[in-house]
Amino acid sequence: MAKPRTTIRALREFSHYHLGTIDGGQEKAVPDDIAEALIGMGLAERVEVADGQAQPEPQPEPQPEPQPEPQPEPQPEPQPEPAAPKAASRKGAK
């Protein structure tokens, strides 16, 4: 006898031992006990599907545009150290 099934929508990507990897936004019919656990952990939400209605295809989540690699800041060239002042000759020094 088949277990009653609940349709869930993943709120984010996660992996489950029996279900495998579920992408964020993906809808899937799963056993009621697993659905309750996933909903309780905040990983999924329940989706109401009318009887006789085909399971809706999951809508792919829009991919964020890739951001350009940050350019390394140019390193300032080392400044030459100022020359030490020459010792001034002191009057009366022998």
Q: What is the extent of the structural domain holding 14?
A: 5-46
| C-beta of residue 58 within 8 angstroms of C-beta of residue 26 | yes
**Is residue 88 predicted with pLDDT exceeding 70?**
no
Is this prediction's pTM over 0.85? no
What is the pLDDT at residue 85? Answer: 64
Q: Is residue 27 part of a domain?
A: yes
Tracing tokens 């390394």 back to the chain, one arrives at 72
Q: Which residues pair with 46 in a beta bridge?
A: 8
CATH number for 16:
3.40.5
- Residue 37 placed within a domain: yes
pLDDT at 5: 87
**Could you tell me which residue, 84 or 29, shows the higher pLDDT?**
29
Over the stretch 27-82, which tens digit does the pLDDT of each residue have?
989 999 989 999 999 989 999 876 655 455 555 555 666 677 777 777 777 777 76
Amino acid at 13: E
